[in-house]
């Protein structure tokens, strides 16, 4: 009787240890999903550029700059056609892409306005030349003022406030993040091997794996579901429509990856559970 009690006690202890290991595996899977989601979104220039493309960011920024240049032109005695013609012939996409690339490459994030100033001044000179017959006269000092004011508008149009904050951490944390992902994969693999190789009945390993993957699914689903239902990012107020649309697309897109991982985890969790149930049924029927 005492021997039976010892075996039962030892069996309960092993079960408890395996459940705890399943918990740690679930935590590792969840952390891995978070790290990978950040790796392919926040730490990827392609993700930012894709978010811009999805929201037609380049077109919106150009339109907003056109409106501000139009106001500047009116205040300086120029017609609105000048601002329209200039922005129609100026491609903001290349400048914005260069701005984004500068953050991820670790280069200077100062926006170079030299090319913009040259083109804007050339457009001003052409406009004045074409309208000489109408008595358009602008002093050199006024031209310099116009060019500098337009350059400020251009800089403010391209600059992304929240992105500049993120960029301070992207370069510093990129390598540690990669190392963390590798470490989590290795630790997860070791725990999985232990769950299988140390079990007297191998089919029980599938049961503990199902616990881990289903728990990881719940973690990702709860976080992604909370963000989706609350619509928290859609409630943020930003200065311009282009920044608002980009902000919503950018941050909501991060949590799309949480849903992807949640879907993968629940599929694996159910596969492992049904595999365990099938093998357990066969074992029971064979006795």
The 10s digit of each residue's pLDDT in 78-105 is 777 888 888 888 888 888 998 888 888 7
Check residue 106 and report its DSSP letter: T
Q: What is the pLDDT of residue 188?
A: 95
Q: Report whether 38 contacts 172 (CB < 8 A).
A: no
Task: Give the pLDDT of residue 133.
Answer: 43
More confident residue, 78 or 200: 78
Angle between helices 241-286 and 57-75 (to 10 degrees): 170
Residue 159 host element (H or E): none
Report the pLDDT averaged over residues 173-201: 90
Residues 181/174, Cβ–Cβ less than 8 Å: no
Q: Tell me how long the chain is.
A: 287
- CA-to-CA separations, 227 to 38, 224, 235, 253, in angstroms, rounded: 16, 5, 12, 11
Find all residues with CB under 8 Å of 29, minimum gap 6, and list them.
Answer: 188, 212, 213, 216, 265
Residue 188 phi, psi dihedral angles, 5° rounding? -60, -40
Among the ranges given (102-111, 219-228, 239-248), the one the predictor scored with the smallest mean pLDDT: 102-111
Alpha carbon distance 69, 162 (integer Å): 24
C-alpha distances in Å from residue 265, one per residue of 18, 88, 210? 19, 49, 9
CA dihedral sign, ordered 181, 32, 271, 192: positive
Res. 162: pLDDT tops 50: yes
Determine the Cα–Cα distance for residues 245 and 250; give it in Å rounded to an integer: 8
């Amino acid at each position: 009787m005492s021997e039976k009690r010892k075996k039962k006690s030892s069996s309960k202890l092993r079960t408890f240890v395996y459940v705890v290991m399943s918990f740690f595996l679930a935590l590792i899977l969840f952390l891995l999903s978070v790290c990978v989601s950040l790796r392919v979104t926040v730490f990827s220039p392609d993700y930012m550029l894709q978010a811009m493309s999805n929201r037609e960011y380049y077109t919106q920024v150009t339109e907003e700059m056109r409106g501000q240049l139009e106001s500047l032109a009116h205040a300086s005695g120029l017609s609105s056609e000048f601002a329209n013609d200039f922005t129609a012939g100026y491609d903001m996409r290349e400048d914005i892409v260069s701005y984004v690339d500068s953050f991820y490459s670790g280069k200077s994030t100062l926006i170079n306005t030299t090319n913009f100033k040259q083109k804007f001044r050339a457009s001003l000179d052409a406009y004045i030349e074409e309208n000489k017959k109408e008595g358009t006269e602008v002093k050199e000092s006024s031209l310099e003022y116009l060019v500098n004011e337009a350059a400020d508008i251009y800089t403010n149009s391209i600059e992304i406030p929240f992105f500049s904050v993120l960029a301070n951490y992207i370069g510093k944390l990129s390598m540690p993040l990669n190392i963390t992902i590798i470490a989590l994969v290795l630790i997860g693999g070791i725990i999985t091997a232990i769950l299988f190789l140390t079990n007297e009945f191998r089919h029980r390993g599938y049961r503990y794996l199902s616990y881990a993957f289903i728990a990881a699914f719940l973690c990702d689903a709860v976080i992604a579901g909370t963000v989706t239902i609350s619509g928290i990012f859609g409630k943020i107020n930003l200065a311009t429509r282009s920044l608002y649309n980009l902000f919503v697309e950018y941050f909501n897109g991060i949590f799309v990856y949480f849903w992807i991982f949640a879907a993968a985890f629940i599929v694996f969790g159910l596969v492992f559970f049904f595999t365990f149930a099938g093998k357990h049924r066969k074992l029971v029927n064979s006795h």
